[in-house]
Amino acid sequence: MKFGILVSEGPYTHQAADSAYLFTKAALEKGHEIYRIFFYHDGVNNGTRLTTPPQDERHIVNRWSELAEKHKLDLVVCVAAAQRRGIVDADEAKRNGKDGDNLAPGFRISGLGQLVEAGIQCERLVTFGD
């Protein structure tokens, strides 16, 4: 089965990001395809490389980056939601006159069209968060 995933909660405020990660990992282990993971609303906070949890806690951002690298996943962060929360890639930082970027490895910034496309291309779009 081909899945699209929507994550709309931050990495440490609700269970949604952990549940999305564990669902994605389990689906891949069972041989399913993950077409795209789209991060929206506070879910975009899963994509900042500046997250630094204590050493004895899970590092959700790194987990996403590592899973994306291993399985060639498309991790898309909503551009409007990201900009509102101070998350930018190098191009957005330059375009908006910022002195640096903070998008984590494996993530990319794009628009809501990527979510719509995932909904069209996938057999199931599974949402995590409000």
The CA-based diameter of the chain, rounded to the nearest angstrom, is 44
Q: Are the C-beta atoms of 22 and 4 separated by less than 8 Å?
A: no
122 carries an active-site annotation: no
Torsion of CA 64, 1, 7, 119, to 10 degrees: 130
Q: Are the C-beta atoms of 23 and 125 separated by less than 8 Å?
A: no
Phi-psi region of 86 (alpha: psi -120 to 50; beta: other; left: phi over 0): left
- Whole-angstrom distance, CA of residue 49 vs CA of residue 52: 8
Task: Write down the catalytic residue from 60, 78, 104, 122.
Answer: 78
Q: Which of the residues are catalytic?
A: 78
